[in-house]
Structure formats: C-alpha cells, structure tokens
Structure 1
Amino acid sequence: MIMGKQCGICNNAESKYKCPCCLIPYCSVTCYRQHKEIPCVKPEPAASSDEKVVPDEQPPREFEENNESGWRLKRSQLQAVVESDDIRRMLRDQDLQSLIRKIDSAVNAEEELDKAMEGPAFREFADKILATINAEEHVLAAES
C-alpha cells in the first residue's frame, strides 16, 4: 500500500485531501476548518527557465487499471463541460443533484448509474455531457 502525505494541520494522520487554494494536505473537516481560520494563498510557482508544462491529460489514479487510463478526460474537455451554460442550468435542479450524489456515494455506482439512466432527466443530462465532450474531441482532432 502506498502511503500518502501526513496531514499538514494536525500532523497525526494521513492526509486524504488538499486545500484547493494553497494545496496543504489535510485529513478531515476539522483540520480543514482549523486551516481556514487563517486565510491562505495559492503558492507562487518558482520562477525558472524550465517551467513545468501541465499535461492536457490527467495522470491515471493509483486504483485504475492500465486499460482504464484511456477513459480519462482531457483538460480541454473538462473545461468545455464547466463552461457549458446548458450543463450549468441542468445542475441547478435539486433532483438531479440528489441523484448524482446517490450515484457518487453508492457501493455499486455502476448499478446506480444504470438505474439513473432509466429516467429522462438524467439521460438528458448524460447526453448533454457526452455531446459536449465529443464536440471538444472533434475540435482537438481538427487542431492536430
């Protein structure tokens, strides 16, 4: 088992999360709240001639199998989803939010996803996500 970083707040537990602003590792909501008592800032990148280039593809996560890494979205595809007014509008629906949370927290997420796809609202949402991703994929292919 690969050990993670130690919590940067309590220094007692393995961190599971990172502050979205300053990227300090923390282990729990309690530590996050303690960290947020003092405003943090995003770390400035080190000025050097050999700056790191952020890859367009996400690196595989440790639990993914080798054959799953091709299913990760490119940064530009994720950005297209974030910028879609239609998707943002759909996500305001409380029932859709509840359904997404149910899928995300399910022991068998694939089974819950299959159930959700039976409903027209979730199917419309999924179709919109796929259309947005595929449109961006075609743009990327045309640029190549």
Structure 2
Amino acid sequence: MLTNKCSICEGEAAKYKCPTCRAPYCSVVCCKKHKEGNSCQLPVENKEIKADAAHSALNTYSHFTEDTVQPDKLELLGKSPTLRDLLQNPHLQRILQHLDSDRQPKSAMEDAMQEPIFLEFANVCMDVLDSAS
C-alpha cells in the first residue's frame, strides 16, 4: 500500500493537503511550517493569472462521462449561500477532507453518505445543479 508522506517533515503519512498548492502535510505543526515558508503563495500581481488558469482548467476535462458537470454549472455552486453556510460546518469540512485524501474513495463515499450533514450537502449541490438545467 502506497502512503503519501508529509512534504514538510517527510516522516509521517500525510492526512491533509494545502488548499493553495495541494502539498501533502501531516499535522498542524507541519501546516504552520509550510505557511511560514511561503512556498505556495503567489505574488499579488500573479493572482489574476492563477484565477484565469483555474478557470481554464475547469473548462478542460481529460475524461468525460454522462455525469460530468459543465464548468458553468460548477461555478453556480460557489454562488450558493446555502452551500456556503453548510461549508462552515467543521464536521462537514472533515468529511470532505477525508474524501479528498482517502485511497479508497468508493468506501469513503459510502461512509460519508451515512452522515446527515453530508447528505444535506449533496442534496444542496444537486438542487443548485438541477435549477441550472
């Protein structure tokens, strides 16, 4: 089984990812060291370039399925006040972090679907996407 090592201490298994650069880290201590190192922050003048690159990345998919959500609909999720409120919930944040880092996403998703807050989150996402159709 492959383990993803912490990019900071290189000793522990990484449980988290930096939201900016996606570097794996294992703890709050390593997260603080990573942030202090400023290795993932862009200069102010490059923030627009980064936003444009992220938008371009949304417009290109490497694999399409019947369930692929179009980028314009994905942008609607970010504009939903209900979804933003839900994402303030620390328990939901932990569930989403676990889903993002789990090596067995199918099993992790089955576990997440047992959590009422995750079901509410999924339903709000579907409602937003369905209303855009």
TM-score (norm 2): 0.58
Match of 1:108 in 2: 104
Counterpart among 21, 34, 38 of residue 33 in structure 1: 38
Deviations 1:68-87 (A, max 9, x none): 44432212211110000000
The residue matched to 2:98 in structure 1 has which SS? helix
* Bigger relative CO (Cα 8 Å, ≥ 6 apart): 2
In 2, the alpha carbon distance for the partners of 1:135 and 1:112 equals: 28
Which structure 2 residue ranges, 5 or more long, are not aligned? 1-19, 24-33, 50-54
CA RMSD of aligned residues (A): 3.1
Report the identity percentage. Answer: 16
Amino acid at match of 1:92: Q
Amino acid at match of 1:134: D
The structure richer in helix per residue is 2
Structure having the higher Rg: 1
1:56-67 alignment to 2 at 5 Å?
A: 58-61=59-62, 64=63
Larger deviation, residues 70-79 vs 84-93: 70-79
The residue matched to 2:61 in structure 1 has which SS? coil
In 1, the alpha carbon distance for the partners of 2:65 and 2:86 equals: 28
Counterpart among 92, 95, 99 of residue 95 in structure 2: 99
Q: Which of structure 1's runs of 4+ aligned residues deviate more than 3 A?
A: 26-30, 34-40
Amino acid at match of 1:84: S
Which structure 1 residue ranges, 5 or more long, are not aligned? 1-19, 21-25, 44-53, 139-144
In 2, the alpha carbon distance for the partners of 1:27 and 1:118 equals: 27
In 1, the alpha carbon distance for the partners of 2:80 and 2:74 equals: 10
Tell whether the 8 Å contact from 1:77 to 1:133 is kept in structure 2 after alignment. Answer: yes
